Every structure is written in C-alpha cells, then in structure tokens.
Amino acid sequence: MVKTDYDWFIETNLDEYSGKWVAIENKKVLDSDAKFGMLLKRIKEKYPRARPTFSKITNKLLRLHS
C-alpha cells in the first residue's frame, strides 16, 4: 500500500513543530515557520516546483481534547 503525504502526516509525530505551520511533500517536512506568509515565501523561493501540503501543527494538549 502506497502512503500519501496525508497518511504520513497523520501517522508522524510532529510535536517539535507545535505552534508552527509546516510544508510537507514526499513524506517529509520541507520547512516550518510560525507565520504562514513567511513559510510560503521561503517555499516558493527554495522549491519553486514543489506543491506541498500546508498544515498548522497544534499544541499536543489541544489535540488530546478535540
């Protein structure tokens, strides 16, 4: 079974990025930042052909109570 970036994202512990936005492509975090605009700008500069998935990583306690 081939895992998608979404499957990888759901199964991976990303607590080190808590409170930040992450850009994910090919089952890896390309970059992260607390500000989405800054992250988007860097991704466009560093990876102009990338089409990553972006997500905000919430605090672990918030996820447990959702």
pLDDT (0 to 100) of residue 66: 47
In the chain, the number of structural domains is 1
> In angstroms, rounded to a whole number, what is the distance separating the alpha carbons of residues 5 and 57?
15
DSSP notation for the chain = -PPPHHHHHHHS--GGGTTSEEEEETTEEEEEESSHHHHHHHHHHH-TT---EEEEPPPHHHHHT-
Q: Strand 28-33 relative to strand 53-56: parallel, antiparallel, unpaired?
A: unpaired
| Cα–Cα–Cα angle for 59, 5, 28, rounded to 5 degrees | 70
Is pLDDT above 80 for 12?
yes
pLDDT tier for residue 1 given thresholds of 50, 70 and 90: low
**Domain coverage including residue 30:** 5-64
